[in-house]
Structure 1
């Protein structure tokens, strides 16, 4: 099967700070992949590198065999950014935002046709926001806002979905709706990549996981990726030592005063 996403030797520098250092990655269509790493590990930078919105210092990215800009121009890539990357005061309605996903099909006049309006209406229904279609985007809750951007990707017919911390500040209803939709999109042949910090929820979200610390440390099944030896390398924590201490310490016992602890080091900007 041809990889939907392929990155080779991707390096991204912000001045003197290295955010990504030789990322090699291949993701096939048809399943959800979690992207996990501590703050500063490069998760957001990697997603932006995949969309072609950040310049590469070295390496290359191909989406469906195309350069990211060409894939975006064809509407093949849907991107759900972090909330702080969006100007929520902009005077656009929910329907307007979802309609932007159809721009690549409208031509230079960007005049919506019947097919465009139908696709937008269907996408809003799938994310359960039909009743809020006319509301200004900034008036929605955090979970509703994330669902709007998922709807935009659905309306445009994206084959690759990239989501940056979509569950941060999201209510349980919206989280469940988004997870269900991501699984549906994967079942329809989309490649879905979700940056997340919630390890506990990862097995229900994704089939595979990418552990990132400026470079890919592990890429494979979630159960294997959550093994302590992989989490040690990813987060810089002595997970196995803490696990052994939990196994042998009597109830109510405090930490061993002689035990050492490791604090996650500060990383590059995400």
Structure 2
């Protein structure tokens, strides 16, 4: 049974004839700085896509454009064939931010943070209903944080914090999720829990776009990958996108000529990732 059906929630209307996310020729400037340059991307339903690029390549701007938080200078974004504002209003799109974007000192419990995903279903008083409380309870259980429900959010570990925001998306009933570096600074248990959850959510019909620098884990997690450097350079299967000559386009490294990259290992496999990690210190 799907997550939405289990909670008795109606997910955002999906059409098999419409992509879940459609980005068409989106250009965004911040003053004189070009963040996105005619970026185009189409994601089908029930897929997990990894978004790869250097810092400053436009990943966060692409997320904001998909969320409808910024208006492109050119191009458009459609969520299930409609403007992003419709998806946000109906709770169909959820966001897991980077840790540095959150005020961890704010006096909210883990339960409070997850309940924020239900605000669109509540009235002006923000008084939770029985259904709201049940959805939050289930979401906390799925991310294995039930025992920490009453704890102040800033007291959690890095991995637990990420899991709390995934729980917020689950409680919200989002059918599209954007995750900004969900594995940065997390423990192995949280990484495994988040990975399992994302695969389960995709099986339920969710479309998931993940910004990540963890190239090693990409093939096991993602169905497809996008290489971004202000524009979409490549979109395809992870093992193709991660080839060294393709990574070189985005990271500006001569990975074909570096030790440990672009050459076969003892089993005859190519090793495209290590030089990128060494260069970036990850």
Report the TM-score when normalising by structure 1.
0.89
SS of equivalent residue, structure 2 residue 258:
helix
1:147 aligns with 2:137: no
Return 92-101 or 223-232, whichever deviates more: 223-232
Kept after mapping to 1: 8 A contact 2:256/2:263: no
Q: Which runs of 4+ in 1 moved over 3 A?
A: 243-248
1:160 is matched with which residue? 176
1:12 aligns with 2:28: yes
Tell me how far apart the structure 2 counterparts of residues 106 and 151 of structure 1 sit (CA, whole Å): 18
Tell me how far apart the structure 2 counterparts of residues 65 and 76 of structure 1 sit (CA, whole Å): 13
Report the CA distance between 1:134 and its aligned residue.
Answer: 0.5
Tell me how far apart the structure 2 counterparts of residues 83 and 242 of structure 1 sit (CA, whole Å): 33
Q: Residue deviations 1:30-83, cap 9 Å, x none?
A: 121000011111111111111111231211111112211221110000100111
Tell me how far apart the structure 1 counterparts of residues 92 and 62 of structure 2 sit (CA, whole Å): 18
Tell me how far apart the structure 2 counterparts of residues 244 and 7 of structure 1 sit (CA, whole Å): 36
Kept after mapping to 2: 8 A contact 1:210/1:219: yes
1:241 is matched with which residue? 257
Gaps of 5+ in 1: 249-263, 265-270
1:221 aligns with 2:237: yes
2:95 is matched with which residue? 79
1:101 aligns with 2:117: yes
Larger Rg: 1
Kept after mapping to 2: 8 A contact 1:43/1:195: yes
Report the TM-score when normalising by structure 2.
0.85
Report the CA distance between 1:197 and its aligned residue.
Answer: 0.7
Return 64-73 or 133-142, whichever deviates more: 64-73
Kept after mapping to 2: 8 A contact 1:31/1:191: yes
Query: Which of these residues, 60, 80, 83, is aligned with residue 44 of structure 1?
Result: 60
Where do 1:105-124 residues align within 5 Å? 105-124=121-140
Q: CA RMSD in A?
A: 1.6
Report the CA distance between 1:149 and its aligned residue.
Answer: 0.4
Gaps of 5+ in 2: 1-15, 265-278
Tell me how far apart the structure 2 counterparts of residues 161 and 70 of structure 1 sit (CA, whole Å): 15
2:193 is matched with which residue? 177
1:205 aligns with 2:221: yes
SS of equivalent residue, structure 1 residue 169:
coil
1:30 aligns with 2:36: no
Report the CA distance between 1:242 and its aligned residue.
Answer: 2.2
SS of equivalent residue, structure 2 residue 215:
coil
Return 89-98 or 233-242, whichever deviates more: 233-242
Q: Paired residues, what number?
A: 249
Kept after mapping to 2: 8 A contact 1:23/1:216: yes
SS of equivalent residue, structure 1 residue 87:
coil
